[in-house]
C-alpha cells in the first residue's frame, strides 16, 4: 500500500466509526424525546439503517478473514435493503404532518416497499442473485453485484423519486418562514442517508478502487458530508410534535450532540492516532493509549461544562436570555423543603447548645393553627404533649428587649418569629424550658436574636417561593396547551389552530387519568399537568374559577363525585359505599387504613371498591364531556 494512502485509510476508518456513533446517537435521541411523533419514528427507521451500514463497515475494516468479512457485508444489507422503504415512509409521514394524511394509496405503497425490502434482504441472505461472492481489492472488501442488483437499484430509484415528490409537496404546504427553513434543512439532509447506505463500490467496482488516493479522498469528504447531513435531518425533525419552545429543543439537541457523538468520536480519534504514533516509534500496545482516553474524556467534559451555558444563552435564547438566566438562578438558589429543614435544624442545634436545652422545635402558623415544621433533641421533643400550643398564647409571658414577648407553655418557652413588613407572626421557636420563667443573659439574648432573624428570613423566603409555585401551577397547564397547539400548527397551519383540543382516547385512559388526578386532588403534578385539563367541560368551568384550570378540574372532579352520591342523608351502608370511599380517601385525604377501619372492611376490599368508584367518576366525566360536545355542536348548527 503506498505511503500516501495509509493516513487516508486511517482517517476514513475514524470517520466511519464516528458516523456510526453519530447515527446511533441521533437514533437514540429520536427514540427518547420524540417517539410519539410519526415523523420522528420514520426518521428513526432510516437512522437505524444507516447505523447498521456504518457498523458493518467498521467490522469489515477490522477483520482479516474473507469468510468473516462476507458475513458482515451481508449483514449490512439489513440496513441497505430497507433504505428505499424508510425514505418513502418518512416522506409520507412528512406529508401527513403538514396536513395531507394518506387516503390509503400512500400507505399501501409504503407497505409494499417494506415487503420488497424484506424480499431483497432474503435474496442477499440466502442467495447470490443480488450480492454475489466476496471481492478483495487493495484495502477494499466488497460483494460482487449479482444479476438482480440492477433491479434493487431501480427499486431504490423509484422510491427516491416518489419520496422526493412527497418531500416537495410537504415543503410547499409549509406556511411560515421558520417551517419552510427547517423543511429545507430536512430536504438537504435527506441526501446523507442515501450516500451512506447505498453500496457504491458494488456499482463501480474496480474502476473506483483503482483511483487510489482520489478514491479514499472522496470517501473521506463523503463521510464528513454525511455526518453534517444526519445532524441537519435530526435538527429539522426534532421540532415535529414537541410541546416545548424552540429554544429548549435547540439546547437539548446541542447538549446531546456535544456530550454524545462529539465526545465519543473525539476520544476514539485520539486513541487511534496515539496508538498509531506509538506503533511508529516501536511501542506496540502502549500504556499511553488508556491514559489518553481518560484524559481526553475529562478535559472534554470540563470544556463542555464551561462553554455550554454561555453558548446556549447567546445562540439559542436571543432576547430572552435575561429571563432564562434568572430562572436558572432561581433553580440553583431555590430553597426546598429539605434545605429549609436542614437550615432550621442547624439553628435549633445552635440554640440548644447556647442555652443548654435538650430539645427544641419550630412551628409555623398555618390555616388551622400551628403546624410542626422541624424538631431536634429527644425522641419526643414535645415531652409527651399531644398537641402544639394554641395560636394565640397571651398568658404567662415575659418581655425582653431584643426578643419581645417570650411565652411559657407546658415545659417549653415559645419565642415568636415575627416579620417586620408586614408586621405579623409567622411561627414560633420552642425551647425545652430550663426554668419556670424565661431567663436569658444579655449575651444569650443577642445571639438568640440573631438566630431568630435568620430562621425568620428562611421561613419568609420559603413562604414567598410557595406563592410563586402556586402561580406556576396556574400557568403551567395553560402554557402546555399553548405549546401543544403551537406544535401542531407549526406545519399543519390554521387547521391545527382552530381544531379543538383532543379528548381522551379510550375509557381505560380516562379512568387512569381520573385516578391520577384524584390522587393529587389537593395539589401535585398529576393534577396540574393532567390531560383532563383539555376537556371541554373543564375549560367551561374555568370561567367560574377566574381562569384557573387546576381549580376548574378540581371542581369538575368534585361535581362528578357528587353525582355518585345517593339521595338522602349520608349513611355508612352499601348504597353509600362508593361515595364514602371517594369522599374520605380523596376529598378528605385520609389514609387507606383509616378509611378501611371507618367502613369496616379490609384494605384489599377497599382497593377493589375504590377502583369501581373511580370508574364511576370517569364514566360521569365522560357523560359530562359528551354533553359539552353536543351543546357546542348545537350552537354551531344554529349559527350556520
3-state secondary structure 570-629: CCCCHHHHHHHHHHHHHHCCCCHHHHHHHCCCCHHHHHHHHHHHHHHHHHHHHHHHHHHH
The interaxial angle of helices 246-257 and 5-33, nearest 10 deg, is 140
The full set of domain ranges for the chain reads: 5-242, 244-328, 337-465, 507-639
State the pLDDT at residue 159. Answer: 94
First to last CA, the chain: 81
Does residue 309 carry a pLDDT above 70?
A: yes
Q: What is d(CA 367, CA 297) in angstroms, rounded to the nearest whole number?
A: 54
Q: Minimal CA–CA distance to 406: which of 366, 437, 364?
A: 437
Neighbours of 150 (CB within 10 A): 12
Q: Is the peptide bond before 557 cis (omega within 30 degrees of 0)?
A: no
b (16+ CB within 10 A) / e for 419-452? eeeeeeebbbbbbbbeeeebebeeeeeebbbebb
Question: pLDDT confidence of 500, banded at 50, 70, 90?
Answer: very low
- Tell me the per-residue pLDDT of 403-432, one tens digit each, with 9 for 90 and over: 888 888 777 888 888 877 666 788 888 888
Question: pLDDT confidence of 336, banded at 50, 70, 90?
Answer: confident
Classify 337-465 by CATH class: alpha beta
Q: What is d(CA 13, CA 16) in angstroms, rounded to the nearest whole number?
A: 5
Residue 282: exposure state from Cβ atoms within 10 A (0-12, 13-18, ≥19): exposed
> Contact 156/84 with Cβ under 8 angstroms?
yes
- Tell me the per-residue pLDDT of 49-59, one tens digit each, with 9 for 90 and over: 999 999 999 99
Q: Measured between alpha carbons, how far is residue 428 from residues 169, 397, 433, 538, 584 in Å? A: 70, 14, 14, 41, 32
Enumerate the β-bridge partners of residue 54.
none
- Tell me the per-residue pLDDT of 516-534, one tens digit each, with 9 for 90 and over: 888 888 877 778 778 888 7
Q: What is d(CA 585, CA 592) in angstroms, rounded to the nearest whole number?
A: 7
pTM above 0.95, yes or no: no
- Tell me the per-residue pLDDT of 168-184, one tens digit each, with 9 for 90 and over: 998 888 877 888 888 89
280: its cell numbers: 511508529
Q: What is d(CA 534, CA 556) in angstroms, rounded to the nearest whole number?
A: 12
- Tell me the per-residue pLDDT of 273-292, one tens digit each, with 9 for 90 and over: 888 888 877 777 778 888 88
State the pLDDT at residue 608. Answer: 82
Per residue, the 3-state secondary structure of 201-265, as one string, reads HHHHCHHHHCCCHHHHHHHHHHHHHHHHHHHHHHHHHCCCCCCCCHHHHHHHHHHHHHHHHHHHH
Q: What is d(CA 381, CA 62) in angstroms, rounded to the nearest whole number?
A: 70
Does residue 300 carry a pLDDT above 60?
A: yes
Q: What is d(CA 85, CA 482) in angstroms, rounded to the nearest whole number?
A: 35
CATH topology of domain 5-242: Rhopdopsin 7-helix transmembrane proteins (1.20.1070)
Q: What is d(CA 338, CA 321) in angstroms, rounded to the nearest whole number?
A: 30
456: its cell numbers: 425568620
Residue 339: exposure state from Cβ atoms within 10 A (0-12, 13-18, ≥19): middle
Q: What is d(CA 4, CA 13) in angstroms, rounded to the nearest whole number?
A: 15
Residue pointed to by grid coordinates 419568609: 460
The residue-averaged pLDDT of 554-570 equals 83
7: its cell numbers: 493516513
The residue-averaged pLDDT of 206-228 equals 83
Q: Measured between alpha carbons, how far is residue 159 from residues 120, 163, 196 in Å? A: 14, 6, 17
Q: What is d(CA 588, CA 581) in angstroms, rounded to the nearest whole number?
A: 10
Does residue 320 carry a pLDDT above 70?
A: no
> Contact 221/19 with Cβ under 8 angstroms?
no
State the pLDDT at residue 73. Answer: 93
Does residue 102 carry a pLDDT above 80?
A: no
> Contact 475/466 with Cβ under 8 angstroms?
no
The helix/strand/coil state of 313 is helix
Q: Which of 30-44, 152-166, 465-479, 577-591 has the highest mean pLDDT?
A: 152-166
How many Cα atoms sit within 13 Å of 93 on the Cβ side? 21
Q: Which of 75-79, 92-96, 442-446, 614-618 has the highest mean pLDDT?
A: 75-79
The residue-averaged pLDDT of 483-494 equals 57
Q: What is d(CA 63, CA 139) in angstroms, rounded to the nearest whole number?
A: 11
Q: What is d(CA 213, CA 414) in angstroms, rounded to the nearest whole number?
A: 87
532: its cell numbers: 383532563
State the pLDDT at residue 205. Answer: 64
Contacts 24+ apart (CB under 8 A), 475-479: 476/528, 476/529, 477/528, 477/529, 477/533, 477/549, 477/550, 478/549
Question: pLDDT confidence of 380, banded at 50, 70, 90?
Answer: low
DSSP state letters, 324-385 = HHHHHHHHHH---HHHHHHHHHHHHHHHHHHHT-SEEEEEEEETTEEEEEEEEESSSTTTT-
Question: pLDDT confidence of 104, banded at 50, 70, 90?
Answer: confident
The residue-averaged pLDDT of 612-631 equals 80
> Contact 580/636 with Cβ under 8 angstroms?
no
The residue-averaged pLDDT of 225-246 equals 86
> Contact 378/359 with Cβ under 8 angstroms?
yes
Q: Minimal CA–CA distance to 537: which of 559, 519, 520?
A: 559
Enumerate the β-bridge partners of residue 370.
365
Average of per-residue pLDDT values in the chain: 82
State the pLDDT at residue 499. Answer: 46
Amino acid at each position: 500500500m503506498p505511503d500516501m494512502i495509509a493516513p487516508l485509510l486511517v482517517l476514513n476508518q475514524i470517520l466511519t466509526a464516528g458516523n456510526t456513533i453519530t447515527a446511533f446517537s441521533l437514533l437514540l435521541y429520536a427514540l427518547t424525546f420524540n417517539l410519539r411523533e410519526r415523523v420522528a419514528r420514520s426518521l428513526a427507521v432510516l437512522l437505524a439503517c444507516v447505523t447498521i451500514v456504518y457498523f458493518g463497515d467498521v467490522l469489515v475494516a477490522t477483520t482479516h478473514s474473507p469468510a468473516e468479512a462476507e458475513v458482515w457485508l451481508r449483514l449490512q444489507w439489513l440496513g441497505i435493503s430497507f433504505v428505499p422503504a424508510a425514505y418513502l415512509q418518512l416522506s409520507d409521514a412528512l406529508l401527513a404532518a403538514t396536513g395531507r394524511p394518506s387516503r390509503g394509496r400512500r400507505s399501501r405503497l409504503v407497505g409494499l416497499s417494506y415487503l420488497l425490502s424484506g424480499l431483497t434482504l432474503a435474496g442477499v441472505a440466502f442467495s447470490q442473485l443480488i450480492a454475489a461472492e466476496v471481492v478483495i481489492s487493495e484495502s477494499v472488501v466488497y460483494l460482487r453485484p449479482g444479476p438482480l442488483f440492477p433491479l434493487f437499484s431501480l427499486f431504490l430509484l423509484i422510491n427516491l423519486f416518489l419520496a422526493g415528490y412527497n418531500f416537495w409537496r410537504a415543503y410547499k404546504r409549509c406556511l411560515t418562514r421558520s417551517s419552510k427553513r427547517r423543511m429545507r434543512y430536512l430536504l438537504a439532509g435527506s441526501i446523507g442517508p442515501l450516500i451512506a447506505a447505498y453500496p457504491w463500490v458494488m456499482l463501480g467496482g474496480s474502476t473506483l478502487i483503482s483511483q487510489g488516493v482520489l478514491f479514499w479522498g472522496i470517501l473521506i469528504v463523503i463521510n464528513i458530508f454525511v455526518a453534517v447531513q444526519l445532524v441537519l435531518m435530526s435538527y429539522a425533525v426534532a421540532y415535529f410534535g414537541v410541546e416545548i419552545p424552540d429554544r429548549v429543543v435547540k439546547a437539548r439537541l446541542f447538549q446531546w450532540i456535544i456530550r454524545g457523538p462529539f465526545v465519543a468520536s473525539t476520544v476514539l480519534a485520539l486513541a487511534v492516532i496515539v496508538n498509531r504514533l506509538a506503533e511508529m516509534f516501536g511501542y506496540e500496545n502502549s500504556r499511553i493509549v488508556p491514559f489518553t482516553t481518560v484524559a481526553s474524556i475529562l478535559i472534554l467534559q470540563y470544556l463542555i461544562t464551561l462553554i455550554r451555558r454561555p453558548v446556549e444563552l447567546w445562540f439559542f435564547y436571543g432576547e430572552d436570555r435575561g429571563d432564562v438566566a434568572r430562572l436558572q438562578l432561581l433553580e440553583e438558589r431555590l430553597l426546598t423543603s429539605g434545605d429549609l429543614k436542614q437550615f432550621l435544624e442547624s439553628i435549633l442545634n445552635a440554640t440548644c447548645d447556647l442555652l443548654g436545652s435538650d430539645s427544641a422545635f419550630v412551628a409555623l402558623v398555618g390555616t388551622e393553627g400551628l403546624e410542626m415544621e422541624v424538631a431536634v433533641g429527644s425522641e419526643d421533643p414535645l415531652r409527651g404533649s399531644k398537641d402544639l400550643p394554641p395560636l394565640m398564647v397571651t398568658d404567662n409571658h415575659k418581655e425582653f428587649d431584643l426578643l419581645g414577648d417570650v411565652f411559657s407553655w407546658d415545659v417549653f418557652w415559645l419565642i415568636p418569629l415575627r416579620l417586620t413588613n408586614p408586621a405579623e407572626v409567622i411561627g414560633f421557636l420552642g425551647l425545652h424550658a430550663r426554668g419556670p420563667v424565661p431567663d436569658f443573659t444579655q449575651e444569650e439574648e443577642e445571639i438568640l436574636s440573631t438566630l431568630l432573624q435568620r430562621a425568620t428570613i428562611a421561613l419568609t423566603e420559603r413562604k414567598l417561593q410557595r406563592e410563586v409555585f402556586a402561580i406556576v401551577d396556574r400557568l403551567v397547564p395553560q402554557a402546555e396547551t399553548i405549546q401543544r397547539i403551537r406544535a401542531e400548527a407549526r406545519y399543519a397551519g390554521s387547521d391545527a389552530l382552530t381544531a379543538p383540543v383532543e379528548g381522551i382516547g379510550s375509557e381505560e385512559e380516562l379512568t387512569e387519568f381520573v385516578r391520577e388526578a384524584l390522587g393529587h386532588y389537593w395539589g401535585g403534578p398529576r393534577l396540574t399537568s393532567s390531560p383532563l385539563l383539555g376537556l371541554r367541560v373543564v375549560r367551561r368551568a374555568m370561567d367560574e374559577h377566574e381562569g384557573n384550570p387546576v381549580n376548574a378540574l378540581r371542581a369538575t372532579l368534585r361535581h362528578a363525585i357528587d353525582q355518585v352520591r345517593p339521595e338522602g342523608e349520608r349513611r355508612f351502608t352499601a348504597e353509600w359505599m362508593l361515595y364514602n370511599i371517594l369522599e374520605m380517601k380523596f376529598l378528605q385525604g385520609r389514609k387507606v387504613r383509616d378509611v378501611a377501619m371507618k367502613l369496616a372492611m379490609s384494605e384489599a376490599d377497599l382497593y377493589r371498591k375504590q377502583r369501581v368508584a373511580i370508574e364511576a367518576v370517569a364514566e360521569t366525566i365522560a357523560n359530562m364531556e359528551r354533553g359539552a360536545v353536543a351543546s357546542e355542536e348545537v350552537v354551531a348548527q344554529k349559527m350556520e
